[in-house]
Chain A
C-alpha cells in the first residue's frame, strides 16, 4: 500500500448563503484518509462533519461557496470541471447515507439502483450490470439475491435496505467509502450488524472509509484515526487510541464522559450544558468557550487557539493542556 492518501482536504471552508446572512458551516478543515484505513469524523449535528465531506466531493448545495484544496487519488478536485469531478466521484467514491428509507428511489428496482453507476462509469451493459448487482447483493448478505434483485425498496426491511445501499456504494469498486451516520436510523441490533458488515468488507476490499458519526462507541470499534469537529472546525484529531487514552480538548473529554457505560444503569449521563454555536455567528475565539467547563486561559474568549501537536499525529485546538496544570 502506498502512503498517498485516498482523499485529502486542506483548509476546506464552506460558506452557505442563507436568508439571514452567510453561515460558515466549515471553517478551514484539514484531514486525510489512507488506503484501507478508517477516519472517523465526530461531532454534534451542525458541527460541519457532513458538510465537509459533501463539499470535498462536490455534493455541497448549489448555494454553498467552497474554498480550499481537495485531492482525490492525487487529483486536485477543485481544479477540475464539474463533469470530470462528477465522473471521478461516481467511479472512486461510494456513499452510504443516513436513512435507508429515503435514500433509495421507490420506483426503481434495487438491482437497477445498485449498479446503474457501473453502466455510467465502467461501461457495463444492462445485463452485465444486473449480474454484478446480484453479486453485490450476495456480498452484503442479502438472502436469495438472484430473486430479490428485481424487487423494489419497499419490499425490504430497514436493515436490508441499508445493505442494499452499501452494495450500491461498493458497485464500482471504489477506493473510498463515505458512511454518513449509516446506523442512526436503524435499531440497535441491526446497527451492530451494519457496522460489522462495513468493517468486514473494508478488510476484504481494502477500501478507505470516512465514517461520519456522533457515536463514540462506533469510533472506538472501527476507526484508525479520528477528527472531532465543533462549530465548523476540528478541535482534536489523532490516532483513535491516543485520543481515547488522553483526550486533550475539553470538548472531547466531555463527549467521552457522556458515553453510557455498562453497569452504569440508573445513573444520569453527564451532559454538556448549553448548545452548539450557530454557524451564522461563530465567536471570535474558541467556539466551545461558552460551554467549556475549564476556560483555562484568558485568551480563549477572543483568540482562536491553533491546532497544536500533543503527541505523535495527535493535535488539539486548545490553549489549555491536560496535565499542564493538573
Chain B
C-alpha cells in the first residue's frame, strides 16, 4: 500500500511539472504586458526596464521557465507583480476560505443527495422519486449566481437571518464563520447535490437489479439490510469519483459565487489576478488547484481499493 502511494505521488509530481509548463506557455500567449499594467499611469521607460529586469522578463523563455520551476520546488513561486508579496503566501492565505467553503458545500450536497438519491432509487416511480427528479433538474438548470442572489434577497434581505456577504475565519469566530458560510455553501452545495442525486439514483437502481441483490432477497434478509449491506457499498464505488471530482473543482474556487459573496478564496484570487495580469499569482493559483486535483485523485484510488476487493492497490 505505501509503495502504491509513493509511486502515485511520484507520478503526480511529473503531472504537476507538466502543468507548470502548460500554464507557463499559455501565459506567454495572453495579450497584454504585465509590467505596463502594474505601472498604470505612472509609466516611464526607466522604471519599466528596471521592473522588467527585476522580474526576469527580459531573459529568454526557456531560462525563465527553468528558473521558475527551480524556485517552485523550494516553495518559492515568485512575487506578485501588483503587491510585491510572495505568491506562496498570497495563495496559502486564501486557501482556508476556499477550503472551508468547498468542504461545507460538499457536506451539504452529500447530506442532501445521499438520502434523496438512495430513496428515489429504492422507491423508484414513487412521488418521492418524482420530487427528487424535479429537484435535480432545478439544481442543474438554474444558474448558481441567480440562486445566490435569491438566497441573499430572502435570507439576508427579507428574513434578515444571515449576513449577505463577507468572510470571517473559522479560527477567529466559529459562529460568525458559520453564519457567513451558510449562504454561499448552500448555493454551491445545491448545484452539486442535484448532480449527485441523479448519479446516486441511477447507480443504486443499477445495483438493485443485480443478481446478487436477488440472492440477498432470496435469503429473506430485511429490505434495510439488503440495501445497506448489499446495495450501497457497490453503488457507492462509482459515486465516490463524482464526489471527489466535484470537491476538487470546488477547491479550485467557485469564481462566480466567491465574487458574489465577497468570499476571499482562490476563485476570487484567480479572478483578480487575471484582471490585473498578475502572472505569478495566476500561475501559483493554477498550480495549487492542480495539486489539489491530483491529491483528490490519489485519495479516490486509495478509497477504491478499500471498498472494492477486486482492485488491489499495487
A-B contact pairs, 27 of them (CB 8 A): A59-B217, A86-B220, A86-B222, A88-B220, A89-B218, A95-B219, A97-B211, A97-B214, A103-B215, A104-B212, A105-B215, A105-B230, A105-B234, A106-B212, A106-B234, A106-B309, A107-B307, A107-B308, A107-B309, A116-B219, A116-B221, A117-B220, A117-B221, A152-B310, A154-B310, A165-B215, A168-B215
Q: Which residues of A have CB within 8 Å of B220? A: 86-91, 117, 120-121
Q: How many Å lie between the Cα of A152 and that of B229 in the bound state?
A: 15
Answer whether residue A173 sits at the interface, using C-beta atoms and an 8 A cutoff. Answer: no
CB < 8 Å neighbour of A120 from B214, B225, B307: B225
Answer whether residue B233 sits at the interface, using C-beta atoms and an 8 A cutoff. Answer: yes
Answer whether residue A2 sits at the interface, using C-beta atoms and an 8 A cutoff. Answer: no
Q: Which 4 A-B pairs have the closest CB atoms?
A: A90-B220, A102-B211, A117-B219, A95-B218
Q: How many Å lie between the Cα of A165 and that of B230 in the bound state?
A: 16
Answer whether residue A258 sits at the interface, using C-beta atoms and an 8 A cutoff. Answer: no
Q: Which residues of B have CB within 8 Å of A30? A: none
Q: Is the CB of A108 within 8 A of B218?
A: no
Answer whether residue A10 sits at the interface, using C-beta atoms and an 8 A cutoff. Answer: no
User: Which residues 230-247 of B have a CB within 8 angstroms of A?
Assistant: 230, 233-234
Q: Is the CB of B222 within 8 A of A102?
A: no
Task: Given the known inter-chain contacts A99-B211, A120-B221, please indicate yes or no for A105 contacting B309, CB distance below 8 A.
Answer: no
Most buried by A among B211, B220, B310: B220
The interface size bin for chain B is 20 to 34
Q: How many Å lie between the Cα of A311 and that of B284 in the bound state?
A: 90
Residues in B lying within 8 Å of A, measured CB to CB: 210-212, 214-222, 225, 229-230, 233-234, 307-310
Q: Which residues of A have CB within 8 Å of B215? A: 95, 97, 103-105, 113, 165, 168
Q: Which residues of A have CB within 8 Å of B211? A: 97, 99, 102-103
* A121 to B, closest residue via Cβ: B220
Q: Is the CB of A106 within 8 A of B219?
A: no
Q: Is the CB of B218 within 8 A of A59?
A: yes
Q: How many Å lie between the Cα of A89 and that of B219 in the bound state?
A: 7
Q: How many Å lie between the Cα of A91 and that of B220 in the bound state?
A: 7
Please give the number of chain A residues whose Cβ is less than 8 angstroms from any Cβ of chain B in the complex: 28
Within the complex, the shortest CB–CB distance from B61 to chain A, in Å, comes to 51
CB < 8 Å neighbour of A107 from B214, B217, B222, B234: B234
Q: Which residues of A have CB within 8 Å of B219? A: 90, 95, 116-117, 120, 168
Q: Which residues of B have CB within 8 Å of A106? A: 212, 234, 308-310
User: Which residues 116-140 of A have a CB within 8 angstroms of B?
Assistant: 116-117, 120-121
Q: Which residues of B have CB within 8 Å of A113? A: 215
Task: Given the known inter-chain contacts A107-B307, A120-B225, please indicate yes or no for A102 contacting B212, CB distance below 8 A.
Answer: yes
Task: Given the known inter-chain contacts A106-B234, A106-B310, please indicate yes or no for A59 contacting B214, CB distance below 8 A.
Answer: yes
Within the complex, the shortest CB–CB distance from B226 to chain A, in Å, comes to 10
Q: How many Å lie between the Cα of A93 and that of B222 in the bound state?
A: 16
Within the complex, the shortest CB–CB distance from A90 to chain B, in Å, comes to 2
Most buried by A among B210, B211, B217, B219: B219
Residues in A lying within 8 Å of B, measured CB to CB: 57, 59, 86-91, 93, 95, 97, 99, 102-108, 113, 116-117, 120-121, 152, 154, 165, 168
Q: Which residues of A have CB within 8 Å of B210? A: 102
Within the complex, the shortest CB–CB distance from A39 to chain B, in Å, comes to 18
Q: Which residues of A have CB within 8 Å of B229? A: 108, 116
Q: How many Å lie between the Cα of A89 and that of B215 in the bound state?
A: 12
Q: How many Å lie between the Cα of A104 and that of B222 in the bound state?
A: 18
Q: Which residues of A have CB within 8 Å of B234? A: 105-107
Q: How many Å lie between the Cα of A88 and that of B309 in the bound state?
A: 32
Q: How many Å lie between the Cα of A104 and that of B216 in the bound state?
A: 9
* B216 to A, closest residue via Cβ: A105
Q: How many Å lie between the Cα of A189 and that of B230 in the bound state?
A: 32
Q: Which residues of B have CB within 8 Å of A105? A: 212, 215-216, 230, 234
Q: How many Å lie between the Cα of A90 and that of B216 in the bound state?
A: 9
Q: Which residues of A have CB within 8 Å of B307? A: 107
For the complex with contacts A86-B220, A108-B230, 18 further pairs of A-B residues with Cβ separation under 8 Å are A59-B217, A59-B218, A88-B220, A90-B220, A95-B215, A97-B211, A97-B218, A102-B211, A103-B212, A103-B214, A104-B215, A105-B234, A106-B212, A116-B219, A116-B229, A117-B221, A120-B222, A121-B220
Q: Which residues of B have CB within 8 Å of A165? A: 215
Q: Is the CB of B221 within 8 A of A90?
A: yes
Q: Which residues of B have CB within 8 Å of A116? A: 219, 221, 225, 229
Q: Which residues of A have CB within 8 Å of B221? A: 90, 116-117, 120
Q: Which residues of A have CB within 8 Å of B214? A: 59, 97, 103
CB < 8 Å neighbour of A152 from B230, B233, B309: B309
Q: How many Å lie between the Cα of A208 and that of B52 in the bound state?
A: 91
Q: Which residues of B have CB within 8 Å of A108? A: 229-230
Within the complex, the shortest CB–CB distance from B196 to chain A, in Å, comes to 21
Q: How many Å lie between the Cα of A154 and that of B312 in the bound state?
A: 12
Most buried by B among A93, A103, A117: A103
Q: Is the CB of A154 within 8 A of B230?
A: no
Within the complex, the shortest CB–CB distance from B36 to chain A, in Å, comes to 60
Q: How many Å lie between the Cα of A95 and that of B212 in the bound state?
A: 12
* A87 to B, closest residue via Cβ: B220
Q: How many Å lie between the Cα of A95 and that of B221 in the bound state?
A: 13
Within the complex, the shortest CB–CB distance from B306 to chain A, in Å, comes to 10
* B209 to A, closest residue via Cβ: A61
Within the complex, the shortest CB–CB distance from A85 to chain B, in Å, comes to 9
Q: Which residues of B have CB within 8 Å of A168? A: 215, 219
